[in-house]
Amino acid sequence: MDEHLIPRADGATGPAGSASGGFESPEGLRALLTRLYDAGPGAWRGDREAAELMRYTAIKYRPLASKHGLDAWEVASAAFEVMLAPSTRNAGNPWAVVTRAVQITCNAETRAAGLLTSASKVRHTSRIVGFHDAVRFAERERLADYHPAFTHHDDGDAEDSEHEARVAALLSVTVALFASTGWDAALVAECMEHVAYRLADLSSRARAVEVLRRDRAMPMLLGLPPRSWSALLRIVLGHPAPKHPGTPVGDGVFLRLLNGEPLDALRSDEALMDAIRAANPDKHTAP
């Protein structure tokens, strides 16, 4: 039905000279879906009324698509997939089923764009409920609660840029440290972005450590085993146990770097490097 699926400029739901198939009503849609199903595979491709239905569907859901920043034909495609299901043609109101499916698809696409993930993960992962859109660490101002280097200043663009560059360099060096032991650099970068974001969003390092430790959605989205996630947090933010304050283990990689410790010194820390290697997700079985 390729040549039939182009909306006309006058907004009509069918090609010139054709009569509507009556599919605007629930019973009319049911009758058409049943006829196409009974006709067997390939029936949709050459059927004129099916082409009219898809044109009508694209126009019907165009406002909803526009509201979510989607193309009308993306939404029509989602509606088409639902129309193929037996549950749709057997429903009390087939159009209600299609409309609800389209709404879910639009919401999933919008959430996926905000979370920088796939729509399938948003659609099928209940733990994403309540998770908010991704925000870059440089867009937050409360990183100062973790270390003065994260302080946001309004007294000059040059000083702002200097501090932002220092934070960016910190994250880059940390990624390189993990990558040197076999971690996937892209995976580590996403983890560090998220950790930095949470540091900006919470009132203290201790609070950030606790919130991140309990975070199950992010490691799941990244395909990171829980043990690797917990170990990564201890490594970069420091071990929270009372016996570790003021020690390299208690400070963590971030503070050690921010306090001026060179990267070579961290690479020479055998205990640290062993901990990073042991936390590598390749060492664990994903949940």
The helix (run of H) or strand (run of E) holding residue 59 is: helix 48-60
What is residue 113's predicted lDDT score, i.e. its pLDDT?
53
User: How many CA within 13 A on the CB side of residue 187?
Assistant: 19
What is residue 127's predicted lDDT score, i.e. its pLDDT?
46
Q: Where are the domains of the chain?
A: 2-128, 137-283
What is residue 18's predicted lDDT score, i.e. its pLDDT?
37
What is residue 238's predicted lDDT score, i.e. its pLDDT?
83
CA distances from 243 to 212, 248, 249, 274 (A): 21, 12, 10, 20
What is residue 202's predicted lDDT score, i.e. its pLDDT?
63
Residue 214 neighbours by CB under 8 Å, 6+ apart: none
What is residue 203's predicted lDDT score, i.e. its pLDDT?
57
Low-confidence ranges of the chain (pLDDT < 50): 1-20, 114-116, 118, 121-142, 152, 156, 284-287
What is residue 10's predicted lDDT score, i.e. its pLDDT?
38
Instruction: Please report, as a single letter, which amino acid is at residue 22.
Output: G
Q: What burial class does residue 279 get, using C-beta atoms within 10 Å of its C-beta: 0-12 exposed, 13-18 middle, 19+ buried?
A: buried
